[in-house]
Amino acid sequence: MQIKSPDFKKNARIALQDVGLQKALGNLKAGFPVKRSIAVDRMPEFEDLRDEARDLKNHILGNLDIYLEQFESKVIENGGHVHWCRTAEDAQKKILEICQEVDAKTVTKGKSMVSEEINLNEYLEANGVQPIETDLGEYILQLREDHPSHIIAPAIHLNLEDVSEAFHKHHKRPKSDDPAVLMQEAREMLRKKFVAADVGITGANFCVAETGSTIIVTNEGNGDLTQTLPKTHIVVTSIEKVVPTLEDMTLFLRLLARSATGQEFTVYNTLSTGPRREGDQDGPENFHVVLVDNGRSEMVGTEFQDMLRCIRCSACMNHCPVYGSVGGHAYGWVYPGPMGSVLTPQMIGIEKGGNLPNASTFCGKCESVCPVRIPLPKLMRHWRENEFEKHLTPSAARYGLAGWAFFAKRPTMYRMLSKTSNWFLRTMAGKKGKISKLPLAGGWTDFRDMPAPSGKTFMQQWKEGQR
């Protein structure tokens, strides 16, 4: 996937004028946040679960090497394989290699953001292996040669007409604008693909060190068909997903669905442990886990370590007023919203991803709904500090800040600056009480009036004894 994060401002402007997108984003606002709130109200222990989940994740990250090695040894014990991949390229190559070993022509795929992160589809296709997305949203996007704009509702930026159009074009069937009919069409089309695929690739929500199991959480059942029918099952996941025990996994499962879709529990929570056993009539003969690092191990022990607690529920973006205004594509890479604004600069570099942690009002809504209590605004601020230290902050902002700081550190001069600005703004406003156009403040006055000061500064009046 091409990186478009440097163009965030332009992307956002286009997104704000995109009538279809704005309509589609309306569906988000009325959906997930309302459902989450109901689910949370039904679970009185929810806040305590969040505390426990945060603490457990911290414990895991503090012993990540030990749990990962333990997980690996259990997978091997159960007859599976584990492949450690430092970079996206390592992971692409390893997956292709496994596909080529079994002479794979087609690969079915369950929904996996890590596979987006490593740009897997494009790579496989370029090397003669046809990937087929099976999650309904991802399938729609693949037909449209599009990318997810949300980590659990990938096609949230589309409207019914878009889906209807894409299906009509690719399925060569009469056009329908009934979502039920469209879903039925996808079901029929994909059924054959599930059965014919040589390899099934899924992600994993968690990897259990105790048992060597991986788990996927889906509502459609596509992931299960993807991993059960082909001869080879490849799990593409990342190193921070390991949890100690089934009980520990359960703690996160209680939070995941409620935080994500507001469901009490996702329809299918499926654990996979190694390849098929003797006597089994179905299930994969080969079981591979591809453990992707891609910059994560470098976050351990840094101010960004908290980000590794993320369980990819999407609550942060579902509640984010910036995401809600511009949608996921404006962020210009795989992970959008507040979690993406922290993660993306780590993966593509702050030089390219710098806009993302800046495009936040720090309203704190994301942190207030995060099931593992990641201090997302604080982490975005750390990126701003990082940018500032590297002199990546735009020079106009830098000089403006330096000028302001000169005064702010000198109370008497600051008083004079306030007094002068106050007088200037009052003069500009005249008797109107507001200013409609202000030089150098177009960002403000293009869209709103600037209320004028109502009199001399407080400090002036206070000194003059005007109480």
Partner 1 sequence: MPNAEHHPRVGLFVTCLADMFRPSVAFATVRLLEQAGCIVEVPEAQTCCGQPAYNSGDKKTTQEIARQTIAAFEGFDYVVGPSGSCIGMLHYYVDLFEAGDSWKQRAEDLKARAFEITSFLIDVVGFDKISASFEGSVTYHDSCSGLRQLGVKQQPRTLLGKVENLELKEMEEAETCCGFGGTFCVKYPDISNRMVSNKTEYISNSGARTLVGGDLGCLLNMAGKLKREGKEVEARHVVEILAGMCDEPAIGEADYDLAKQL
Partner 2 sequence: MSKAEILGNIRRGLGRSEPTDGERQRVLSRLQAKADNLIPKRAQLPHAEQVELFKSMALEAAAEIIELDQIEQVPAACARWLTENQLNELVSASDEALNQLDWSPLGEIQRVQRVAQAGDMASLTTSFAGIAETGTLMLHSRSESPTTLNFLPDIHMVVLQRSTIVGPYEDAWKKLRAVHGEKMPRTVNMITGPSRSADIEQRLQMGAHGPRTLVILLIND
Q: Which residues bind partner 1 (CB under 8 A)?
A: 9, 12-13, 16, 321-322, 325-326, 358-365, 367-368, 378, 381, 383-389, 393, 397, 401, 404-405, 407-411, 414, 418, 421-422, 425, 431-434, 436, 441-444, 446-459, 461-462, 467
318 binds partner 2 (CB under 8 A): no
Question: Would you say 356 or 373 has its CB closer to partner 2?
Answer: 373
* Least separation in angstroms between CB 26 and partner 1: 11
The CB density around residue 461, as the number of other CB atoms within 10 Å, is: 12
Question: Would you say 54 or 384 has its CB closer to partner 2?
Answer: 54
Q: Which helix (H) or strand (E) holds 445?
A: helix 442-445
Report how far residue 385's alpha carbon sits from residue 393's, in angstroms, rounded to the nearest whole number: 9
Q: Which of 203, 274, 345, 353 is the binder for partner 2 (CB under 8 A)?
A: 274
Report how far residue 28's alpha carbon sits from residue 324's, in angstroms, rounded to the nearest whole number: 8
Q: Which of 183, 392, 450, 459 is the binder for partner 2 (CB under 8 A)?
A: 183
Q: How big is the site for partner 2, counted in residues (CB under 8 A)?
A: 104
* Least separation in angstroms between CB 318 and partner 1: 13
Among partner 1, partner 2, none, residue 405 binds (CB under 5-8 Å by kind):
partner 1
191 binds partner 2 (CB under 8 A): yes
* Least separation in angstroms between CB 434 and partner 2: 40
Nearest CA-CA partner of 147 in 103, 172, 107, 116? 116
* Least separation in angstroms between CB 454 and partner 2: 46
145 binds partner 2 (CB under 8 A): no
78 Cα distance to chain centroid: 32
41 binds partner 2 (CB under 8 A): no
Considering only residues 156 through 175, tell me which ones interact with partner 2, judged by CB under 8 A. Answer: 156, 158-160, 163
Cα–Cα distances in angstroms (integers) from residue 140 to residues 159, 163, 238, 355, 426, in the given order: 11, 7, 25, 29, 56
Report how far residue 213's alpha carbon sits from residue 344's, in angstroms, rounded to the nearest whole number: 28
* Least separation in angstroms between CB 55 and partner 1: 20
189 binds partner 2 (CB under 8 A): no
134 binds partner 2 (CB under 8 A): yes
**3-state helix/strand/coil string of 267-322:** CEEEEECCCCCCCCCCCCCEEEEEEECCCCHHHCCCCCHHHHHCCCCCHHHHCCHH
Question: Would you say 20 or 442 has its CB closer to partner 1?
Answer: 442
334 binds partner 2 (CB under 8 A): no
Spatial CB neighbours of 208, under 8 Å, sequence gap ≥ 6: 71, 214, 215, 242, 243, 244, 245, 246, 248, 249, 271
The CB density around residue 125, as the number of other CB atoms within 10 Å, is: 12
Q: Which of 6, 31, 364, 453 is the binder for partner 2 (CB under 8 A)?
A: 31
Among partner 2, partner 1, none, residue 250 binds (CB under 5-8 Å by kind):
partner 2
* Least separation in angstroms between CB 56 and partner 1: 24
The CB density around residue 211, as the number of other CB atoms within 10 Å, is: 18
Among partner 2, partner 1, none, residue 204 binds (CB under 5-8 Å by kind):
none
Question: Would you say 82 or 334 has its CB closer to partner 2?
Answer: 82
Could you tell me if 316 and 339 are in contact, meaning their C-beta atoms sit under 8 angstroms apart? yes
Q: Which helix (H) or strand (E) holds 253?
A: helix 246-260
Among partner 2, partner 1, none, residue 269 binds (CB under 5-8 Å by kind):
partner 2
Cα–Cα distances in angstroms (integers) from residue 162 to residues 182, 250, 332, in the given order: 11, 38, 21
452 binds partner 2 (CB under 8 A): no
Considering only residues 235 through 254, tell me which ones interact with partner 2, judged by CB under 8 A. Answer: 239, 244-248, 250-251, 253-254
Among partner 1, partner 2, none, residue 455 binds (CB under 5-8 Å by kind):
partner 1
Among partner 2, partner 1, none, residue 73 binds (CB under 5-8 Å by kind):
none
Question: What residues pair up with 376 in beta bridges, in sequence order?
Answer: none
Q: Which stretch binds partner 2 (CB under 8 A): 299-307, 387-395, 413-421, 445-453?
A: 299-307
Could you tell me if 317 and 369 are in contact, meaning their C-beta atoms sit under 8 angstroms apart? no
Among partner 1, partner 2, none, residue 28 binds (CB under 5-8 Å by kind):
partner 2
Q: Which of 69, 97, 285, 351 is the binder for partner 2 (CB under 8 A)?
A: 69
Cα–Cα distances in angstroms (integers) from residue 332 to residues 310, 337, 393, 414, in the given order: 20, 11, 19, 40
Could you tell me if 215 and 249 are in contact, meaning their C-beta atoms sit under 8 angstroms apart? yes
Transcribe 111-165 into DSSP letters: --HHHHHTTHHHHHHHTT-EEEE-SHHHHHHHHTT---SSSSSTTTT--HHHHHH
Q: Which of 12, 15, 64, 96 is the binder for partner 2 (CB under 8 A)?
A: 64
Considering only residues 393 through 412, tell me which ones interact with partner 2, judged by CB under 8 A. Answer: none
Altogether, the residues listed in the chain come to a count of 467
27 binds partner 2 (CB under 8 A): yes
* Least separation in angstroms between CB 417 and partner 1: 9
